[in-house]
Structure 1
């Protein structure tokens, strides 16, 4: 386990999946990231989703009519990353490169690098995706952090700064697949969405956040739980285990989408995917204020 710290926070990151496993505020020892030591709800903390988000139809996808296997949320979260030389106590970088195993299911020469840097208000995560091959590389990139709740979920609301109103979500049916529809979130009030367990009891919701810049989860009294910047992520998913009233909420920036239900889809045509040119590089920045 890797540890980084500054005067305000201490964080731990697992080389397996480059997963943030803890983000603790020193002033009051508050743990921000979900911990499930009892194994009651969800065993993960904040997995990185690459090169897929969600389930693929029949756990397969197509590239020019050739089928490949792909597990839910891709493979990056379950593979060991290489830890790069650490030059400062408040930051660490990890990298995953294509190898013989990944090429069987994802025939692209890629590199995925994450850099975690603590700030005075939380954490910044820099993602760098590189295509070392000679063809366009389709992929999705997402983040799936769970945040501890200090109150029941219906004491919170989501505020999306800059979002186009009325607020809309992508239809999910059957969960976790999309059905191709778009719905107005009827309970939203302009850019505020009251949160509750019934809202998420049918599965995740995915909000069209292409115009939004900031996502803020706060109590109805205005006390902030977490704030994320969405400039590099056009969709935002919310999830908590269905019908369990779990004491955590996943707030998930997506640059990509789950499959629409049906047959395996060609990733060069899939909605939400990025197609990175040969030799290309794309950066994403995500900041968490807690």
Structure 2
């Protein structure tokens, strides 16, 4: 599926309802990572019904343990296009016997992309079609590539408008779960910090507490390259791979489990609860600089 206007050209696949290309006509450059498996085989997966890993790759729901996969099954599922116009497209994933083997709830997940000038708006709708409360986490994982082939992380910086510093935690590498025993400070200079390889030596940086509502990838001289607005998200991740020419900006409604979390999914911090018949809506915006 394709969306386009005078500024952006966007391609989205039915596989995972994943955006596979964002081309900036003004710059003559692709903003989205091309999924080169040398570094990372994805572009911008939808994370549902879990963000990141659950502790020991299981989740407890109403007393039953279910197996989970990292970032959930939506990114590897085939969606159906249910709406397509020149500037808007929507995709649907419904629960099935297969999904209920690992996630017992009945649901409909609708992912909508809308093009508006230099912005791509992303909206999720989660419909609880079952008869009991439904619990989940959901997130975005877009990877933004650097403009030129030879550019590196050191050619860019991150900008967090209005922020003086940010607090983050890291993953426990053995567990793939969040280590909350230590908090780190990301010092900022006029809201900015250099983008470096060293930032990601221990995987993703995890920001809790709704700290990030807007973030930009900028060139070293401060020129905006690509940005994201995501008000109202309690969690946010920033991630890359060693020497990879991209960085992921990840708005999350909930996140991976903490190390040792073995309680009911309903007790998980920042888990989303949707009552029977209710619809959860949330979204974020990608902006070409």
TM-score (norm 2): 0.92
- State the Cα deviation string for residues 180-204 of structure 1 (Å, max 9, x = none): 2351325434643332110111111
The farther-off stretch of 146-155 and 134-143 is 146-155
Measure how far apart 1:84 and its partner are.
0.7
2:113 corresponding residue in structure 1: 116
In 2, Cα distance between equivalents of 1:281 and 1:132: 9
* Alignment size in residue pairs: 284
Measure how far apart 1:104 and its partner are.
1.3
1:283 corresponding residue in structure 2: 281
In 2, Cα distance between equivalents of 1:186 and 1:143: 22
Distance 1:20 1:285, change over 3 A: same
Measure how far apart 1:231 and its partner are.
0.8
CA contact (8 A) 2:165 2:187 kept: no
1:17 corresponding residue in structure 2: 16
Note if 1:100 corresponds to 2:97: yes
Note if 1:143 corresponds to 2:105: no
* Structure 2 unaligned spans of 5+: none
CA contact (8 A) 2:52 2:256 kept: yes
Counterparts in 2 of 1:184-195, with a 5 A limit? 184-189=184-189, 191-195=191-195
Note if 1:56 corresponds to 2:29: no
C-alpha RMSD of matched pairs (Å) = 1.9
In 2, Cα distance between equivalents of 1:192 and 1:105: 41
Measure how far apart 1:66 and its partner are.
1.1
Note if 1:268 corresponds to 2:273: no
CA contact (8 A) 2:170 2:204 kept: no
Other structure's SS at 1:232 match: coil
Distance 1:89 1:25, change over 3 A: same
The farther-off stretch of 185-194 and 107-116 is 185-194
In 1, Cα distance between equivalents of 2:244 and 2:214: 25
TM-score (norm 1): 0.91
Counterparts in 2 of 1:201-220, with a 5 A limit? 201-208=201-208, 210-220=210-220
